[in-house]
Structure 1
Amino acid sequence: MYGPLPAAALHERISEFAENAPERLAFVVAGPDGTCDQQTFAELRDDSIALAALFADSGLGPGEVLVVAIRNHISYLSLVFGAWRARVPVLLLSPGLGGTERDQLAALVAAELGRPVFVDSAPHPRYDTFVVGAGRTPTFVPGPAPANAPVPADPPTPAPADLTPADPPAPSPGDPAAGADETPYLFLTSGGATGLPKVMPYQLRFTGRSETPYSKSGLRSGTHTRTPGSATRLICGNLFHTGNFAPSLHVLLTGSTVITMSRFDPELLCQLLRRHDVYSLGITPLHMMQVLTMPGLDPEPFAGLTRVTHGAAPCPRWVKQGWIDLVGADRLFEIYYSSELGGSSQPVIVSGVDWLRRPGTVGQPAGARVLDAEGRDVPPGTIGEVYFPQTYGRAHGYVGDRALRTAATVPGHVSVADLGWLDEDGYLFIADRMSDVLDIDGHRVLPSVVEEVIGRHPAVADVAVAGTAAEDGATVLYALVQLLPGADLGEDDVLDLCRGSLAAHEVPTLVRFTTAIPRTEEGKMRRSVIGASAPTGPGGEPGA
């Protein structure tokens, strides 16, 4: 059984590498101009110890949560390990989250977990903040004191966290103690595609172990032989995202290097691949698209990659095929997984080889069930709600009053509210989020089905379909289309394409074109935002 790893086991592993290979690179962050900040394992250990002391001196301690809300920065991992040394849980938050939503999340954290203390690029107006600048040491800026609050007495000086470790050693796989739960020390947020991001406790069950459910799911290591410490991984996205942070920790705790960028740039990616011996690349479909549309794309920098993984959002077929052509079908892997499952279920992984045999599949999940509204298994090819078994422990779900969906007919399984279907051989295809399903003239419409049809056209780079309100208040379909550079396609062409493949109620009422579909930096799209942006008023149709 893969039990949760204690926080002490994580920073103690870093200390081991710092002692045995102090000059080995642990973390590299490339700036927009290509200059790189670098951190060795010895520096990562020393910086985290120094930050643990800074946190203690600033009064950060039990009953508080360190909310890390910065872009990729050379101090990012030191802040996390420093908080764990100081016995303070960490919540990773998107730096792009707006002020109102950030305040709502802060209120949830305060009510459910403890007083939030932010790490940010500027002081928070209501909470204590460690402000991060160009250097590695943040500046502590106290938040405003509540009106008429008594002046607190000076607290006793705590002992340095690094000198008084009390956490148990890391349990080994198979150890009965490995299944014991402990107080969560890491919290992550969902991508926010369906609204305000949800907060989830996250247990690191597989991190740093040689055999994991990922390898059992078919995520092979390729044919290249690597020496210890040489399995460098380049992460294209922000570290707050589960699909970036968890693999980064795994790479670090196996003694290898993590490379990332403060902001993604396809040309910078190519520069980094030329400079470093990169073993694996983690990328999102949005970033994959930006690479494929580079003028004069040179495949040479990608030739040395052993593994490329992508996730975080659905991947258009032309993008998937383009990357299969770029790196090879046997080196490209799509990972379908949800942070909500908290490491409780085996990830669903599909190689490019298997995808070519079944275009659109996300893989062959072990033990997954697809159920109808009454909790009955649906026949192959029929869309239903997808449920996953909790194979490696309990899924923690969400912080607050929300819970993962369960079905009485499949005890031990949970759902993250995705719709999909299994084929005759048990391969899973994802249809849509339940929250995105629309009612159009009394018919159930899945926007992803419409997007799939429009996205097949060779002129289309990206597409988003959402519901918007007509003058009479009814919901109608709105399609926002992004064309490939130099492509030519009109509204009538899109409508004719839809009429030729879809039912009448699935044909958009309104089609507009854009230079870029609004997505987060991780490629996630809020259909509610797309629908709200539909043109309205005279001549704009369909709104009033």
Structure 2
Amino acid sequence: MYLTQFLHRAVQHDPRRALTVFGERTRTVAESADRVARFAAALRSLGVRPGDRVGILALNSDRYHEFLLAVPWAGGVVNPVNVRWSVPEVAYSLVDCRTDILLVDDTFAGAAAELRRHVPNLATVIFCGDGPTPEGALSFEDLVAAHEPVEDAHRADDELYGIFYTGGTTGRPKGVMLTHRNIVTSAMGGLATLPVVSRGGRLLHAAPMFHLADIAAWSMGLLAGSTHVIVPAFSPALVVEAIVKHDATDALLVPTMIQLLVDSPQAADADLGALRGVLYGASPISEALLRRARERLPSAAFTQSYGMTELSPIATLLSPADHDDPVLARSAGRAVAHAEIRIVDPAGVEVPRGVVGEIAVRGDHVMRGYWNKPEETAAALRDGWMHTGDGGYMDERGYVYIADRIKDMIITGGENVYSIEVENALAKHPAVAQCAVIGLPDPDWGERVHAVVVLAQGASATPDELRDFCRADIAGYKIPRSITFAGALPISAAGKVLKRELRQQYRQEGN
């Protein structure tokens, strides 16, 4: 199995089909393949040898797509860098896996000089933007033009495709090692389970392409014969324009993006009927938001994905039809074709159906391990199973219900409280735009349930009003004992609420 095979197949089947659309630039399958082979030749001329890491720090673009194929074509390993990180955080990842070549675009070209100071091994910077090439950098386009195409190195099977650094929501980022077999298994298994990407459709990339969720959609799109419609970064205006102008049929969006889109004035005034499918995941979605999204995008079938970087990343899918069942709609779906899932206790023993435990996953999509972290790898991969750190339970039909990150579970007065349940109750209130629930130290209860609430524009509510509202849905011990109103929640580039930051902030403030 090798990821570049998807491109070879496309060249053989339909070379004149539009493969990428970025702004006013459209490139066919044949053009894209030629550029990939030429840039791979350039990377080899710059010293890339089998297994060498090549990084990219850039917003989404058609050149990002070419990078994801050209690096393995050259024999290398991709290292897509989180665009939300500070320079020291970026430097850490580059040093950690010894990335000697880094691509930057217009947005991040200014950081290159500082990165060189922090990363002694950074030998080459390649500019992949549309502006003037900065001093000391090589031009992506010049490299493509100056080199003849080379044969594909055909890195395959258990050879590394990429090192993907975790978002750091639970500590310092770890480099997740994913092989070609991992990525291809996830793409094929995802499409075999549900048609989450339309055959021959137009797949919109608004989520960051460094993140494995979008890379999963991208790889399924390559397999399904999609045209990749790419915008630099998410904004409601850009997403609406892409759907209307380019007839985007499918999109991967995280819940925070869905909320911003469906509540935007641009979406209210536009015909979004071309959009036939929305794949969402990365963080839980509230029942209230899902209802609004389905009302605003009535032509789109919604599919939920649960997974993580270490699983390449898909473990379960919840079908569009399952969204019509109010009970199943609260689940994350069932195991995809390539995954085996069980719920286990701390000793790794499977628990009965309906009992909360840790979600464990097995299959050919499970990571090789964490880069240079054998102890962390051994803790996560036990007896062939990836222990996710997520709490959940499984019903009699195999549907998985996510309870919480095990580290995020709140124990108050000896009772377990799962934040997702409380967040779902709060989110139903019409004044609540966003919310996050965390545990804070409490002298009487050990921990207390604390909610951080962002109110909808022009709305108002009091803590007592919100607590009273929750009583209709959840038990008294789950109701937030304290509530803070905030202007915004800290969100990672992947769309996840950074609860670690919230806990640190409110513990320091003594709330």
- CA distance, structure 1, for counterparts of residue 74 and residue 288 of structure 2: 47
Q: For residue 152 of structure 1, what is the aligned residue in structure 2?
A: none
Q: For residue 147 of structure 1, what is the aligned residue in structure 2?
A: none
Q: For residue 150 of structure 2, what is the aligned residue in structure 1?
A: 163
CA-based RMSD: 3.6
Q: For residue 347 of structure 1, what is the aligned residue in structure 2?
A: 315
Q: For residue 248 of structure 1, what is the aligned residue in structure 2?
A: 218
Match for 2:32: what amino acid? L
- CA distance, structure 1, for counterparts of residue 135 and residue 36 of structure 2: 16
- CA distance, structure 2, for counterparts of residue 246 and residue 414 of structure 1: 19
Q: Secondary structure at the match of 1:282?
A: strand
- CA distance, structure 2, for counterparts of residue 484 and residue 362 of structure 1: 27
Q: For residue 2 of structure 2, what is the aligned residue in structure 1?
A: 5
- CA distance, structure 2, for counterparts of residue 485 and residue 280 of structure 1: 29
> Are the aligned partners of 1:286 and 1:522 in contact in 2 as well (CA < 8 Å)?
no
Q: For residue 151 of structure 1, what is the aligned residue in structure 2?
A: none
Q: For residue 388 of structure 1, what is the aligned residue in structure 2?
A: 361
Higher helix share: 2
Residue 302 of structure 1 pairs with residue 297 of structure 2: no
> Are the aligned partners of 1:130 and 1:139 in contact in 2 as well (CA < 8 Å)?
no
> Are the aligned partners of 1:208 and 1:253 in contact in 2 as well (CA < 8 Å)?
no
Residue 187 of structure 1 pairs with residue 166 of structure 2: no
Q: For residue 75 of structure 1, what is the aligned residue in structure 2?
A: 63
Q: For residue 141 of structure 2, what is the aligned residue in structure 1?
A: none
Measure how far apart 1:232 and its partner are.
1.2
Structure 1 runs, 4 residues or longer, greater than 6 Å off: 136-140, 206-211, 470-474
Measure how far apart 1:98 and its partner are.
1.9
Q: Secondary structure at the match of 2:346?
A: coil
- The 1:527/1:14 distance shift into structure 2, 3 A limit, reads same
1:132-147 to structure 2, matched below 5 A, reads 132=127, 134-135=129-130, 141=136
- CA distance, structure 2, for counterparts of residue 397 and residue 210 of structure 1: 16
> Are the aligned partners of 1:341 and 1:395 in contact in 2 as well (CA < 8 Å)?
yes
> Are the aligned partners of 1:420 and 1:431 in contact in 2 as well (CA < 8 Å)?
yes
Q: Secondary structure at the match of 1:416?
A: strand
Aligned length: 486
- CA distance, structure 1, for counterparts of residue 286 and residue 304 of structure 2: 12
Residue 58 of structure 1 pairs with residue 53 of structure 2: no
- CA distance, structure 2, for counterparts of residue 374 and residue 261 of structure 1: 46
Among 370, 378, 381, the residue aligned to 2:351: 378
1:248-397 to structure 2, matched below 5 A, reads 248-295=218-265, 297-298=267-268, 301-328=271-298, 331-342=301-312, 347-357=315-325, 358=327, 359-365=329-335, 367-390=340-363, 392=364, 395-397=367-369
| TM-score (norm. length: structure 1) | 0.78
- CA distance, structure 2, for counterparts of residue 134 and residue 425 of structure 1: 49
Measure how far apart 1:239 and its partner are.
0.7
- CA distance, structure 2, for counterparts of residue 210 and residue 403 of structure 1: 20
Q: Which runs of 5+ in 2 are unaligned?
A: 139-145
Q: For residue 21 of structure 1, what is the aligned residue in structure 2?
A: 15
Q: For residue 130 of structure 1, what is the aligned residue in structure 2?
A: 125
Residue 197 of structure 1 pairs with residue 181 of structure 2: no
Measure how far apart 1:420 and its partner are.
0.5
Q: Secondary structure at the match of 2:265?
A: coil
> Are the aligned partners of 2:176 and 2:367 in contact in 1 as well (CA < 8 Å)?
no
Q: Which runs of 5+ in 1 are unaligned?
A: 31-35, 144-158, 169-179
Match for 1:39: what amino acid? R
Higher strand share: 2
- CA distance, structure 1, for counterparts of residue 431 and residue 62 of structure 2: 40
Residue 478 of structure 1 pairs with residue 465 of structure 2: no
Deviations 1:361-398 (A, max 9, x none): 111226422122233333333211112232x4654232
- The 1:232/1:469 distance shift into structure 2, 3 A limit, reads same
- CA distance, structure 2, for counterparts of residue 211 and residue 501 of structure 1: 38
Q: For residue 506 of structure 2, what is the aligned residue in structure 1?
A: 534
Measure how far apart 1:61 and its partner are.
3.4
Q: Give the stretch that moved more between structures: 239-248 or 399-408.
A: 399-408
Q: For residue 233 of structure 1, what is the aligned residue in structure 2?
A: 203
- CA distance, structure 2, for counterparts of residue 142 and residue 62 of structure 1: 23
- The 1:76/1:532 distance shift into structure 2, 3 A limit, reads same
- CA distance, structure 1, for counterparts of residue 368 and residue 381 of structure 2: 16
Match for 2:89: what amino acid? E
Measure how far apart 1:474 and its partner are.
6.7
Deviations 1:238-283 (A, max 9, x none): 1111111132133235443101211211122122111123232221
Q: Secondary structure at the match of 2:160?
A: coil
- The 1:42/1:296 distance shift into structure 2, 3 A limit, reads closer
Q: Secondary structure at the match of 2:377?
A: coil
Residue 437 of structure 1 pairs with residue 409 of structure 2: yes
Q: Give the stretch that moved more between structures: 447-456 or 399-408.
A: 399-408
Deviations 1:154-192 (A, max 9, x none): xxxxx9784355548xxxxxxxxxxx8442132223333
Among 467, 470, 493, the residue aligned to 1:495: 467
| TM-score (norm. length: structure 2) | 0.83
Measure how far apart 1:133 and its partner are.
5.4
- The 1:202/1:407 distance shift into structure 2, 3 A limit, reads closer
> Are the aligned partners of 1:189 and 1:197 in contact in 2 as well (CA < 8 Å)?
yes
Q: Secondary structure at the match of 2:388?
A: coil
- The 1:208/1:301 distance shift into structure 2, 3 A limit, reads farther
Measure how far apart 1:404 and its partner are.
6.3
- CA distance, structure 2, for counterparts of residue 501 and residue 318 of structure 1: 13
1:504-543 to structure 2, matched below 5 A, reads 506-534=478-506, 541-542=510-511
Match for 2:439: what amino acid? G
- The 1:118/1:133 distance shift into structure 2, 3 A limit, reads closer
Match for 1:5: what amino acid? Y
Q: For residue 85 of structure 1, what is the aligned residue in structure 2?
A: 73
Match for 2:22: what amino acid? V
> Are the aligned partners of 1:29 and 1:72 in contact in 2 as well (CA < 8 Å)?
no
Q: Secondary structure at the match of 1:377?
A: coil
- CA distance, structure 2, for counterparts of residue 535 and residue 37 of structure 1: 49
Q: Secondary structure at the match of 1:278?
A: coil
Measure how far apart 1:117 and its partner are.
2.5
Q: Secondary structure at the match of 1:534?
A: helix
Match for 2:261: what amino acid? V
Residue 212 of structure 1 pairs with residue 188 of structure 2: yes
